[in-house]
Chain A
């Protein structure tokens, strides 16, 4: 595994909120096109870890390298550029309620001058078609269901043509019947070769999609390996007990 293939490298990451240490010596790497799934009990630090990658969580120790560039040490301007290459999808969608679906998607590419207004609009319509919401371009987020909102959020993140997509429990806030649509979109994205890091509680989805599964427990990567290893073969008692509860 040469370092050049790694699009993300995390080395000895430590993060604490005051006295509360939530991440302890996390190290792992992600290769281009790889799908890494983070699983583990609530409070184990999965989301915090994901949020350290694009520095929505700040003030951590250790190294996070994205395409060889140090995320932790980046200046504000540099950080904005790095974040443009890391799309993020949130549990609560976080669409901009004062903008239409189309404006949600085109706002940042236009504002950040990565595309002209016409290009961004064209790209946005393509993305909406990909997520199956072409007819919703002029709607406001409030009028959409949760599953539709999340698919728009995915389209919005993709509009910046990111190198990596970070998913922070993308289906946890959805009604069960909406989950499938969102997972379908993610699966298609995976097939197209997108590098993805996913925090999820959808175990069968994780099993299907993951090239690598990291099982997190108490701020540490307690177990890691292929989906087959984690879900079928592991000897790790914590992993087994967690999986027996959620599957």
Chain B
């Protein structure tokens, strides 16, 4: 059933590498945007808070596939990306595609950050401020480190979703692992075996990711539990 792998495994390797790369870029942009938008969302300046709410509402309320296509077709008009091939796809598709993934993830990440920040008692902020620390230092050195620890499980979920959702970039012609599997399926006139291979690859990737997150959770949790 899986004899085709002998011939086609390089295609899957390439697709897997592409999936990993767009996912990592997507996650990083998502974290960055999440941080920016959560600060705006919690800002006392009404306009910022309003912009963040609108962004989050739109991203959450529309299909990722449409977002990706809209961003790709818009960016491709504005952004001049050279037609360099990278792991089987043009950079003019990979770059807007990963940005789109990040923009999508940013909205969810912002809400996850917000849930973490509001879970930290106000006394922590007050303690920081009373020592003469600035709002920013208090947020970044006192509140966020505690918030991040609380939201690691939710963040892990979001990262895992993103790895799987990255298959939507297939629609704009990024040759990630789903696209490659479908390509192989088309050649073989049999879609099931290559799709099973793709599914297994996603499973392994997300499994590794969830193990990494658990490791991080343990590492961040350990010192809290450490007794004298």
Instruction: Please pick, from B121, B134, B224, the residue contacting A76 in the complex, using a CB distance under 8 A.
Output: B134
State the Cβ distance, B204 to closest chain A Cβ, in Å. Answer: 33
Q: Is the CB of A108 within 8 A of B132?
A: yes
Q: Is the CB of B130 within 8 A of A83?
A: yes
Interface presence of B133 (CB below 8 A):
yes
Q: Is the CB of B224 within 8 A of A98?
A: yes
Of B130, B149, B224, the most chain A CB neighbours within 10 A belong to B130
Interface size on A, residues (CB 8 A): 37
State the Cβ distance, B131 to closest chain A Cβ, in Å. Answer: 4
The residue on B at minimum CB distance from A95 is B127
Instruction: Please pick, from A81, A92, A96, A160, the residue contacting B142 in the complex, using a CB distance under 8 A.
Output: A96
Q: Which residues of B contact A107 (CB under 8 A)?
A: 131, 141
The residue on A at minimum CB distance from B145 is A98
Q: Is the CB of A142 within 8 A of B224?
A: yes
Q: Is the CB of A94 within 8 A of B132?
A: no
Q: Which residues of B contact A86 (CB under 8 A)?
A: 130
Q: Is the CB of A143 within 8 A of B130?
A: no
Q: Is the CB of B131 within 8 A of A143?
A: no
Q: Is the CB of A94 within 8 A of B223?
A: no
Considering the chains assembled together, what is the distance between the CA atoms of A112 and B227 in angstroms? 29
Task: Say yes or no: A156-B131 contact (C-beta < 8 A), given A56-B126, A111-B137.
Answer: yes
Which label, helix, strand, loop or mixed, suits the secondary structure of the B interface?
Answer: helix
Instruction: Please pick, from A76, A85, A90, A98, the residue contacting B127 in the complex, using a CB distance under 8 A.
Output: A90
State the Cβ distance, B136 to closest chain A Cβ, in Å. Answer: 10
Interface presence of A3 (CB below 8 A):
no
Interface presence of B135 (CB below 8 A):
yes
Q: Which residues of B contact A144 (CB under 8 A)?
A: 228
Q: Which residues of A contact B134 (CB under 8 A)?
A: 76-77, 80
The residue on A at minimum CB distance from B127 is A94
Considering the chains assembled together, what is the distance between the CA atoms of A84 and B129 in angstroms? 9
Q: What is the total of A-B residue contacts with beta carbons within 8 Å?
A: 83
State the Cβ distance, A125 to closest chain B Cβ, in Å. Answer: 16
Q: Is the CB of A98 within 8 A of B146?
A: yes
Considering the chains assembled together, what is the distance between the CA atoms of A77 and B128 in angstroms? 14
Considering the chains assembled together, what is the distance between the CA atoms of A166 and B227 in angstroms? 30
A interface footprint on B97-125 (CB within 8 Å = 1, 0 otherwise): 00000000000000000000000010110
Instruction: Please pick, from A76, A84, A143, the residue contacting B226 in the complex, using a CB distance under 8 A.
Output: A143
Considering the chains assembled together, what is the distance between the CA atoms of A111 and B134 in angstroms? 10
Instruction: Please pick, from B123, B129, B132, B226, the residue contacting A112 in the complex, using a CB distance under 8 A.
Output: B132
Q: Which residues of B contact A139 (CB under 8 A)?
A: 226-228
Considering the chains assembled together, what is the distance between the CA atoms of A90 and B124 in angstroms? 10
Q: Which residues of B contact A82 (CB under 8 A)?
A: 132
State the Cβ distance, B54 to closest chain A Cβ, in Å. Answer: 28
Q: Which residues of A contact B226 (CB under 8 A)?
A: 139-140, 143
Interface presence of A54 (CB below 8 A):
yes
Per the 8 Å Cβ criterion, residues 74-116 of A in contact with B are 76-77, 80-88, 90, 92, 94-98, 107-108, 111-112
Q: Is the CB of B228 within 8 A of A76?
A: no
State the Cβ distance, B49 to closest chain A Cβ, in Å. Answer: 18
Q: Which residues of B contact A56 (CB under 8 A)?
A: 126, 129-130
Interface presence of A31 (CB below 8 A):
no
Q: Is the CB of A90 within 8 A of B228?
A: no
Interface presence of A24 (CB below 8 A):
no
The residue on A at minimum CB distance from B223 is A140
Q: Is the CB of B133 within 8 A of A108?
A: yes
Q: Which residues of B contact A209 (CB under 8 A)?
A: none
State the Cβ distance, A231 to closest chain B Cβ, in Å. Answer: 30
Instruction: Please pick, from A83, A94, A135, the residue contacting B124 in the complex, using a CB distance under 8 A.
Output: A94
Q: Which residues of B contact A10 (CB under 8 A)?
A: none
Q: Which residues of B contact A90 (CB under 8 A)?
A: 123, 126-127, 130
Q: Which residues of A contact B149 (CB under 8 A)?
A: 98
Instruction: Please pick, from A80, A92, A98, the residue contacting B223 in the complex, using a CB distance under 8 A.
Output: A98
The 7 A-B pairs of least Cβ separation, nearest first, read A84-B132, A139-B228, A94-B127, A88-B130, A94-B123, A108-B131, A83-B132
Q: List 12 A-B contacts (CB under 8 A).
A: A56-B129, A76-B134, A83-B130, A88-B126, A88-B127, A92-B121, A95-B127, A97-B224, A98-B145, A98-B149, A107-B141, A157-B130
Given contacts A83-B129, A107-B141, A142-B224, 10 further A-B contacts (CB under 8 A): A77-B134, A90-B127, A94-B127, A95-B127, A98-B149, A111-B137, A112-B131, A112-B133, A140-B227, A157-B131
